[in-house]
Amino acid sequence: MKNCLLACMMLSLCSFGAGDEAWLSLIRRDHPRMFFNRDTWPTVKARALGEQRQVFETMLRSVENYPMDPVCSGYDPIVFGEVKTASGTHKITAATPINSVRDWGPEAAQCAFVWRVTGNPIFLEKARKMIEVSAAAYRMAIKNGRAVNWYSTNRVLALAAYDWIYEGLDDAQRKPLITELVAHVEEVQPGPGKPRIIRLNSSGVGTGFYGVQNMLWFSGLAGYGDGYCDELALKHLRQGYDLNQKLLEYRSRSAGDDGGLSSGVDGYCMGAYPWAHFIFFHTYLSATGVNVAKDWPSMALFPNWIYWLWIPVRGSKAALTFGFGDCQHVTNEMNIGTVYEHMSQYMHFFKDADPEAARLAASLRSLVNKRTPGWVVLPFILGSGDDVQPYTEQELQHTPLKARHFESLGQIVMRSDWTPEGTYCLFTSGAEMAQHKHLDENNFVIYKQGFLALDSGTRGRETDYNLRHYYAQTVAHNCILIHQPGEPLAPYWGMREDSPEGKLNHGGMITPKGKTLAFETNDLFTYVAGDASNAYGKKGKEAVRQFIHLQPDYFVVYDRVASADPTYRKEWLLHTQNQPIINGKTLMADENKGRLFCESLLPKDAKLTLVGGPGKEFWASGKNWEVDSAWLERTVNNLAKSGREPLFGKWRLEVSPGEARVDDRFLHVLTACVQTVEAGIPAKLLESPDQDGVELQLPGKTIEVWFNRTGEVGGKIVVRGGKTYELRKDIQPQAGVKIVP
């Protein structure tokens, strides 16, 4: 995989002329050059008046109703303090999300586009005034010490609007528009000596790249070579180009040979993240005539990642996902509102570079309702995509591959099939990209017609303490805890509470870094071994989890845990949405239509404890880390209309050894089923001199699963009267989209 990535990066750098500025000589000197140019405009206009006429006429009606004298607002200084609500108060601090400036960037782009199609001078003047007042508002917001917007989109559209109406303006009209816009882009760039701006998003290429640095390329394109602010525009063009190369390199590395983006959180990656590279692809093409998307083929695999995270829902267009990382956990629904737009882009740019990935994008797109893209011009640039043939429903639902290892993101997805009644599991191990990832190495989430083992907590309003002190910490996940008295809380973003409880780590990890030791998948089982030993720092000598999914509904979890001190209490955690029932060493928990059985086989002296219920849902370090009351009330009320409740998790099982010791082994068998099933799979503890095992009575066969108790991590699976599988000690390679054999 690494050799493939290196070759891909070298090819891309060669294509762009690394080490020189060959690309700069390709930039058109005329306008327009953002999204379309003089040569491509006739095709774009024809689409607006032809196949996309309905979209254009909707835009036309909006433009006709926009004011001739637009006014901006919301650029005043921020007032900090507490805001009273019906159910309490919440803080406004420098870290609190703020309202955006009400500008007219998107509307200016609409007016500019409609002017180019119709030639009506009224729309030209509307666009000019909107750019003028927006640029003034941007400058005033910065003067008042507040950010304009968390996202760059509106300002990029204002720059595009200027580019599109350039030909309709004279020098006296152009100069104040572009100089103010470019000056604003310069004043918000990070660097020494700059004044502090509240909530300025200067995020770099390892994130969504939709903050202020994203604007540099577009500022340079809009102002380059016209004699108004050439020096600054050229600086921005070069900086923006270099940043976008780094962005594409990073995202290509994130995708690897499986798929993905800059984060393992699908909410971000199905939100604004993809626009950063798509909009660069579009504008580089329009400004130079070169389509560079083909030079980054691994990025075509993004639909593959979404396909594996997608949990279909019977009788609904909605899709669920696993609630990984900084997901709110309100419903664990995937953001399918952007599926049509994003998949259309992948089809557009990569249908020749990776036909299978484009087919998968078309398949996912076909599952949702068509939506109008948020970027004004895209309906008139993209084709229909009808030339890309989707996979059949049967091919998607019953692909022979039972698991997928997304190495860069540290995610192993396992499933029985791709139907609403299927069994799904996400295991977390060895992420290279930790953006918005929690302290959750070796965590697992299980879904079968309900979230049976889930991630708990919520990021909430970001003004409460749940985010930092519970939700992102190891205690909120299905992991192992090692309690070192007085250990400081591991860092994470969000509001900090300086109480004694707020300074303590409740047995969790101190870093999100682990290592995947082994992975394999076949028709019978999927196996993964994750080593989280280093994630616990000096308090943990060993923390290795071996996790097996036996088709279709059974899971075996074996943990080798050693603490630096025998008095450091260990706990094996399992989070459930609703209150479980414990019968001996077996737990039963229901959610929606699903049911989970979990039997504890090791330690032999295991003590099972339930923590949760009202006032203890988010219990850690002697305190319940509450969610902002006003936000919680609104969230609960909204969900109650459809008979649901937030999936924050309200209970957890803690399995701990009966006596203090350095080394412990935990062995659990889990059954995912529906609520008509009254018992989990029969399991019997097995032991040999150097291995721990379990005998399972699966339908139609008896299986033994064995794990090495010490030494090299490994084991075997024995099918009585059949084959013996030695568990792999390396990573089974996977690459590309594999829907059909």
> Going from the N-terminus, what domains does the chain have, and what CATH number goes with each?
2-76+91-391 (1.50.10.100), 396-685+709-717 (2.70.98.70)
The Cα 67–Cα 111 span in angstroms is 11
Angle between helices 302-309 and 339-350 (to 10 degrees): 150
Structure confidence at residue 386 (pLDDT): 86
Nearest CA among 740, 708, 703 for reference residue 720:
703
Task: Return the structure tokens found at 177.
Answer: 């528009």
CA distance 110 to 687: 71
Convert 622-654 to b/e letters by CB count within 10 Å (16 or more is b).
ebebbbbbbbbeebeeeeeeeeeebbbbbbbbb
**Would you state the pLDDT for residue 353?**
92
Q: What angle do CA 199, 432, 12 make, to 5 degrees?
A: 90
Strands (E), 261-354: 311-312, 319-320
The whole-number pLDDT of residue 79 equals: 79
Please give the average pLDDT of every successive group of 10 residues along the chain, which has 741 residues.
40 45 95 98 97 95 98 91 58 74 98 98 98 98 96 98 98 98 97 89 93 98 97 98 98 96 94 96 97 95 98 93 96 94 95 95 91 84 89 94 97 98 98 95 98 97 90 98 97 92 97 96 98 97 98 98 98 98 98 98 98 97 92 94 95 98 98 97 97 96 97 97 97 94 77
> What is the per-residue pLDDT across 617-654, written as a single tens digit (0 to 9) for each?
999 999 999 998 889 999 999 999 999 999 999 999 99
Q: Tell me, what DSSP letter sits at residue 100?
A: P
Q: Quote the pLDDT of residue 369.
A: 77
What's the confidence (pLDDT) of residue 20? Answer: 72
Contact call for residues 37 and 163 (beta carbons, < 8 A): no
Contact 438, 512 (CB under 8 A): yes
Tell me, what's the pLDDT at 579? 98
Q: In what order do the strands lie in the sheet with 724-726?
A: 683-687, 691-698, 701-708, 715-719, 724-726
The pLDDT value recorded for residue 418 is 97
State the alpha helices, DSSP H only, in 471-612.
none
Q: How many helices (DSSP H) and strands (DSSP E) are in the chain?
A: 17, 28
The count of other CB atoms within 10 Å of the CB of residue 687 is: 12
The pLDDT of residue 89 is 59
DSSP code for 504: B
Gap between the Cα atoms of 340 and 364, Å rounded: 8
426 backbone dihedrals φ, ψ, rounded to 5°: -120, 125
Q: What angle separates helix 121-143 from helix 153-165, to the nearest 10 degrees?
A: 140
Find residue 665's DSSP bridge partners.
Answer: 560
Total-model pTM: 0.93
d(CA 605, CA 655): 10
pLDDT value at residue 371: 73
Comparing CA positions, the residue from 437, 461, 476 lying closest to residue 618 is: 476
Identity at 294, one-letter amino acid code: K
CA distances from 540 to 16, 532, 566, 686 (A): 47, 9, 11, 27
What's the pLDDT at 15? 42
- At 487 the three-state DSSP class reads coil
Alpha-carbon gap, residue 257 to 271, rounded angstroms: 22
As beta bridge partners, residue 108 has none
Q: Tokens 């900084």 — which residue?
A: 326
**Digit-coded pLDDT (tens) for 592-612:** 999 999 999 999 999 999 999
- H or E element, residue 134: helix 121-143
> What pLDDT, in 10s, does the model give residues 283-333?
999 999 999 999 999 999 999 999 999 999 998 889 999 999 999 999 999
Cβ atoms within 10 Å, residue 514: 26
**Cis peptide preceding 32, ω within 30 of 0:** yes
Token reading at 355: 């036909």
